[in-house]
Structure formats: structure tokens, C-alpha cells
């Protein structure tokens, strides 16, 4: 099924073109390779003032799912969150 702009939540529609381009980019082998190289440089483990924690939980079928948690160093109170789910295709 092809997702059209009208099918997307109205608050996300302004980003639809960018998200569609990102989806195309990520569907190509060269796009994944470039992202992996970029990711190696920007993992977040070296960012000043940011704590990066990497956890794994077991998903369906026994597959491990990686979770990456970024928060300000020394944060000890509840914080707002942003959930990013990788693998969504538009």
C-alpha cells in the first residue's frame, strides 16, 4: 500500500516530503552504508553534557531490540521523551 500525504496525521503533513525522501534513502544499500558511516561518527557517546545508554530487550521470535537512551548528564528527575521507531516505511 502506498501512503499518501492525506493519510498522514495533519500535524505530520508538513514533514511528509522529507520523511518520504528519508524512506527512499533508507531503502537503498548505499543509503544504509552512508548512514552507518555517519552513525559511527555521531553515536552520542562523546557528546559533552549528554549521557548515552544502550540497552537490549528481547522481541518477538527471540530477536534483540536495541534501545538507545539519551539524557542530560546528571539528570535525576522525570524528563520528557521522544520515541523514534526505526523501520517505518511510508
3-state secondary structure of 15: helix
At 4-49, the pLDDT tens digits run 888 888 888 888 888 888 888 878 888 888 877 777 666 655 678 8
Neighbours of 35 (CB within 10 A): 13
In this model, does residue 88 exceed pLDDT 50?
no
At residue 46, what are phi and psi to the nearest 5 degrees? Answer: -105, 5
Amino acid at each position: 500500500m502506498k501512503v499518501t500525504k492525506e493519510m498522514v496525521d495533519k500535524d505530520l503533513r508538513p514533514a511528509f516530503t522529507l520523511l518520504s525522501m528519508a524512506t527512499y534513502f533508507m531503502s537503498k544499500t548505499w543509503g544504509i552504508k552512508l548512514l552507518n558511516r555517519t552513525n559511527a561518527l555521531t553515536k552520542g557517546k562523546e557528546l559533552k553534557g549528554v549521557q548515552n545508554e544502550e540497552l537490549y530487550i528481547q522481541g518477538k521470535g527471540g530477536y534483540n531490540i536495541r534501545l538507545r537512551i539519551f539524557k542530560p548528564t546528571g539528570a535525576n528527575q522525570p524528563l520528557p521523551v521522544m520515541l523514534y521507531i526505526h523501520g517505518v516505511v511510508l
